Structure 1
Amino acid sequence: MTDQTHEVFNQPEPLVGYNLFETNRPLRDALKFNAPGLDTAPLATLGALAGTAEMQAHARLANTLTPELRTHDRFGRRIDEVEFHPSYHALMAAAVQAGLHGTPWAGGASAHVLRAAGFMLFTELEPSILCPISMTYAVTPALRANPAIHRDWGPRLTSRCYDPALKLWSDKPGLTMGMGMTEKQGGSDVRTNTTQAEREGSDGWGERYRVTGHKWFLSAPMCDAFLVLAQTGSGLSCLFMPRVLPDGSRNAMRIQRLKDKMGNKANASSEVEFHGATAWLVGEEGRGVPKILEMGTMTRLDCALGTSGLMRQALSLALNHTEQRSAFGKPLFEQPLMRNVLADLALESEAATALALRLARAFDRREDEHESAIARLLTPIAKFWICKRGSHFAQEAMECLGGNGYVEEGGEGVMARIYREMPVNSIWEGAGNIMALDLLRAIRKADAAAALAQELAPAKGAHPALDRMAAALPARVEAMATEVEARRLAQDVALAVQAALLRQTAPEAVFAAFCASRLEGDWGQAFGTLSGRTDFETILQRALPH
């Protein structure tokens, strides 16, 4: 008999001190398929860094000690600055050093695929700081429409140096950029924007405007510059708005408040007003919407990549927990029902990884006719389907940890952070209906049916359910004339492409279980309802984070 009442046992050790890349077999196999011969050494370096206790501590601190708005200094002068915890800057510096914000624009073979894999790995560590990283990636090529600004800013937007100071662009070794599109009255319907821009002349950066209005969402307001939409004499136009003007003075962008969001806590999202702020035209006047759609394609890729990374981390945490936690006489990992849940999650995670990296490969080969069509077709599909699956996935993974998954503190608290983060990728850059409508536009602009048939061809004859779906989809694509079934079409195309990719990148056990469950209907309405004939052992061993 002992009077000790607080002996701690049967609690798992945290998932720390491991290499996120080297332990992710589905990601490594997808890379071999999409970019044969790719030098993955940078990914191994990033994977090792992201798995360290130090970086995990930075992720925790950046999300608990959140950004704070400082509108005025102590003398009453307007400063409009956001103060971040040092851990935020440590994470930003690591992401920039890894080139996640701009390496594809600096050149290199399979640069988008390499960057995509790195983006997924970093998401497992901390996703919300990747908002300014993603926006910098998306807006950089758009600046080419203003050669003078691109000449000055381009090299610093791809630099691997992070400098958080608010100062003149030419005094900084590296720069970041954001976007300001939506307004309170319009949301995704940017054509209703009321912000006005009046032309006041021209200078070395081209046509210069004074901008007056507001933005309901301007994420990462401490970026060095933003691309914003405003109404000009010719209609909605895209404008470049720096925080610090060429003369060293601060631009008239007033931060009204920071959004109190469900998740994405380390990142500051704001409401702003422009009081005659100075901006320069990017592209043609009145052609702002096409320019925004061009940037949206990039950020939508990142939404799919980000959710895929979150899925992988949630799965890894669930596997780590269930391997060490015992119940009813043996580890949870060995309990039949738990194995079904974990294997089902593993299938979903690997399929998401395969689809997201396939889309990144299309970005690397846009000069190829088929790849260009696939990029246009798969961007809304991957963004819609992968992100839609995210919240359900995170909830099921959290349930594998029981009450430990629901608490905010300690290593297990990462699961709660993942769950809060999942919805943002589904909402940001166009929610589900916007993606479904974008799919219809893609179908009408390109020979989508032929591109889809070519994409599914390598898996022909591999599974009867996939063959049936593949045979029916081209006709459905060509016949789609109304939006009411666009979501269903997006779902089915996503599942068919995921199955075809798994046939080429994954073991037979993974492919067969995915087709049987997702395409043949041998599945329930929740995770963990795979058939008893599933090869659980092969699927689970492939998914383990060690």
Structure 2
Amino acid sequence: MESSGANKGFFQQEPILKNQLYDDVVLQRVIKLFLPSGVRESVEPDLARFGDSVLSPAIFNWITDAERNLPYIRGNGRGAFGKPRSELVVTEGWRKLQDFGIQNGVVAFNYDTDHRQFSRLIQCVRLHLWEASCANTLCPAAMQDGAARLLQLHLANPKSHLDSVQRRVFQDAFDRLTSRDPATAWTSGQWMTERTGGSDVSQTETVATYSPLDVSSGSQLADMERNIPLGPWLIKGFKWFSSATDSGMTILLAKTEPGKGLSAFYAPMRRYNADLISATGKKGGYELNGVNISRMKNKLGTQSLPTAELELAGMRGWLVGEEGKGIQQISTILTVTRVHSTIASLGYLGRGLAIAKSYALVREIGIGKGRRVPLWKNPLHMRTLASITGEYHSMMLLTFFTIYVMGLEEAKGKLRNVQSPLGSKLTPPEKHVTPLLRVLSSVHKAYCCENTIPQLYGCMEALGGVGYLVNSETEHVNVARIFRDACVLAIWEGTTDVLSSDTLRALKHPALGKQSLDALDWFVKAALNSLSGTVEAVAVAKEWDTLKLRIETESQESLLAEARSIVFRIAEVLMALLALVDVKINGGAEAEVMARRFLAKKNFIGDKTDSSKGTVDLDTAIVYGTGPADASITVSKL
């Protein structure tokens, strides 16, 4: 018998990742549930191409580079002769990944295509495919998307009362935010967090003063080539978290007068300075717009992302909306960025499952008496992966239902005359769209971003010890990196507790709370009718009635301690009904099993333990979408 060595003996075959558009059976079910067949057929070639390209060797090389060579401030913030100098340096991998996303329209798709109410949903399918390969470049892209939506609303609304100069400034920023040209495109920051309050922005210490400039002077331009002036507001303060320090612009909150509330401002990150002198003596150039990078943040995850503390020392900006109404402006951005956060968490989980599935196909285990079988033939392992897949399925349904409603809200007045497979009975009427979205925008993020973390850990555990390693040398199976990055998603854009409190506040709002509660009630009743009052649907509806009564009759103060459990239960009610609807519309024995297990696990129905011989095959079908005999070779199609 020959011994093993460093370069001889057994070497585990590497898992192979397939295009997740076809390999991810949950993603396929979601696409079929929400997108009409004609729309699916028209976008499938582009989605398939994109799904292949995000798994290319170049992408994984750029990820490794972005993770290894972290962003830093050149000279620790000073030049050779001691003069302050805020120059952020990011690696080539980061820049290449960001350019790839821009060129492929990960943000622009929602603004330069014409799928009406389905544009946002298709965009999010593309985001889902890209998330685990983007090395966090979709974080600034999320804020870019939110800022684009905010400016789009102001440019389209006559009540915004934009003068000709401000309209030109906003239009220029919007064009950059929605561009597919990396040379001109901008990402955006979203500066709210300060040392005083974290998520409590009421304690903001940043101050904006109205102090107009003489725009006839070329030295007062944000962009000389485009003749874009700097804003009339002078902004000073300190922002404790900037997760897009390399962005082209930002939307930020600041106080203007005591007691007037917070206001929102748009500010470019750079400005033209005619007095700057280059190293070769050339006069004129661009500098940061009154921003000093204080220090970079050292984080558990998202290490490739340039996160910094920023001092605003005379930043020039433009007021967005009415003075003192900044929270309303930021809420528009948050609706978008929270969807991005949840799509990120689910994109990570989808990739984690893809890695675990592919590993199970190539890994063999001993079963006694010298016999060995592929890991995917182990009933316990398949049950574990099927359980993770079931949780993933339910969260995908909730999230994409939210995105579907969001698409309806964004396309008001220009809906296409074509129905989603959900049908008219499960598509909220116009009066319920905005109130429903008001609640869903915090519910989906609170539930999914928290609950994907243990599921993603399960994917890491499914690889054993190698899953715990930061496999940068084999980047496509580096689930540890993905797990590390996923942890922040339950924190930024509102922690789970903050979002739970926000949801409770929205449902108990004296003027608008009843509208949101009625919208939720409408969906529960519509789903119950659609499902013809099955035993399972009735059980879920009864749970909702009990929950709704508590929300209606108890005070906000008495419910606050249980806000998290209330929000999670609302999410579980919606997921249970959507799972049953998915079974009815898309069919499949594996979907029935997933729905039944979910309802039992969440205590809607009694636990009926699967004990039949065929459950191993069903578990395999849940995970792979195929039977055990051909799991390694069959590729399902949309």
For residues 540 and 485 of structure 2, the distance between their equivalents in structure 1, rounded to whole angstroms, comes to 33
Distance in 1 separating the partners of 2:59 and 2:102: 15
For residues 9 and 204 of structure 2, the distance between their equivalents in structure 1, rounded to whole angstroms, comes to 58
Query: How far, CA to CA, are the matches of 1:530 and 1:272 in structure 2?
Result: 55
- What secondary structure does 1:401 align onto? coil
Aligned partner of 1:362 in structure 2 is 405
- Name the counterpart of 1:139: 147
Distance 1:477 1:106, change over 3 A: farther
Counterpart check, 1:469 vs 2:540: yes
Which aligned pairs between 1:237-252 and structure 2 lie closer than 5 A? 237-245=263-271, 248-252=286-290
Asked if the contact 2:194/2:204 (under 8 Å) is kept, the reply is yes
TM superposition shift of 1:449: 3.6
- Listed as ranges, the gaps of 5+ residues in structure 1 are 164-172, 524-528
* Aligned residues of 1:97 and 1:161 also touching (Cα < 8 A): yes
Task: Map 1:212-361 onto structure 2 (within 5 A).
Answer: 212-233=236-257, 234-245=260-271, 248-328=286-366, 329-361=372-404
Which segment drifts farther, 24-33 or 271-280?
24-33
Aligned to 2:24: 24
Aligned residue pairs total 531
Using the TM superposition, name which of 225-234 and 183-192 deviates more.
225-234
Quote how far apart the aligned CAs of 1:42 are: 2.1
Residue of structure 2 equivalent to 1:513? 593
| CA contact 1:254–1:275 (8 Å) conserved in 2 | yes
Q: In the alignment, is the contact (CA less than 8 A) between 2:540 and 2:576 conserved in 1?
A: no
- Distance in 1 between residues matched to 2:431 and 2:269, nearest whole Å: 39
Query: 1:246 & 1:390 partners in 2: Cα distance?
Result: 44
Cα 1:400–1:213, aligned 2, differ >3 Å: closer, same or farther?
A: same
- The counterpart of 2:562, out of the listed 475, 480, 485, is 485
Q: For each residue in 1:245-268, what CA deviation from the matched residue of structure 2 results, as whole angstroms up to 9, or x when unmatched?
A: 255443110011111111111111
Deviates more, 1:230-239 or 1:530-539: 530-539
Q: TM-score, normalised by structure 2?
A: 0.78
Residue 192 of structure 2 is aligned to residue 194 of structure 1: no
Pairwise CA distance, 1:19: 1.8
CA distance in 1, matches of 2:122, 2:408: 13
Corresponding position of 1:167: none
Paired with 1:298 and 1:284, the residues of 2 have a C-alpha distance of: 21
Q: CA separation in 2, counterparts of 1:149 and 1:478? A: 49
Deviation by residue 1:85-130 (Cα, 9 ceiling, x = unmatched): 1111111111112211233233521110111111111012135111
Whether contact under 8 Å (1:102, 1:136) holds in the other structure is: no
Distance in 2 (CA, whole Å) between partners of 1:372 and 1:509 is: 35
Measure how far apart 1:3 and its partner are: 5.2
Amino acid at match of 2:140: P
Is 1:427 the counterpart of 2:491? The answer is yes
Deviations 1:156-179 (A, max 9, x none): 21110113xxxxxxxxx2222111
CA contact (8 A) 1:449 1:474 kept: no
Give, in angstroms, the shift of residue 287 of structure 1. Answer: 1.0
Amino acid paired to 1:150: F
Overall identity of the aligned pairs, in %: 25
Q: What is the alpha-carbon distance in structure 2 between the residues aligned to residue 386 and residue 264 of structure 1?
A: 19
Any gaps of 5 or more consecutive residues in structure 2? 155-159, 216-227, 274-285, 367-371, 413-429
Structure label with greater radius of gyration: 2
- Residue pairs, 1:404-419, within 5 angstroms: 404-409=466-471, 410-411=473-474, 414-419=478-483
What is the rounded CA distance, in whole Å, between the counterparts of 2:385 and 2:595 in structure 1? 17
Q: Deviation string for 1:156-204 (max 9, x for gaps)?
A: 21110113xxxxxxxxx22221111110110000010111111102668
- Separation (CA, whole Å) in 1 of partners of 2:102 and 2:542: 44
The structural deviation recorded for 1:511 is 3.8
CA distance in 2, matches of 1:491, 1:510: 25
Amino acid of the structure 2 residue aligned with 1:396: G
Determine helix, strand or coil for the equivalent of 1:179: strand
RMSD of Structure 2 on Structure 1 (CA):
2.5
| Matched residue, 2:123 | 115
For the pair 1:442 / 2:485, whether they are aligned, the reply is no
Task: Report the CA distance shift for 1:508/1:220 in structure 2 as closer, same or farther (over 3 A).
Answer: same
- Report the CA distance shift for 1:292/1:349 in structure 2 as closer, same or farther (over 3 A): same
Q: 1:491 to 1:275 in 2, by over 3 A?
A: same
Q: 1:170 — aligned with what?
A: none
How far, CA to CA, are the matches of 1:227 and 1:522 in structure 2? Answer: 40
> How far, CA to CA, are the matches of 2:533 and 2:63 in structure 1?
43
CA shift for structure 1 position 320 = 0.8
Shift of 1:215: 0.5
Distance 1:249 1:315 in 2: 45
1:537 to 620, 630, 633: 620
Mapping 1:175-194, distance limit 5 Å? 175-194=186-205
Taking a change above 3 Å as real, the CA distance of residues 8 and 243 of structure 1, as seen in their structure-2 partners, is: farther
Residue 2 (structure 1) shift: 2.9
Counterpart amino acid of residue 468 in structure 1: A
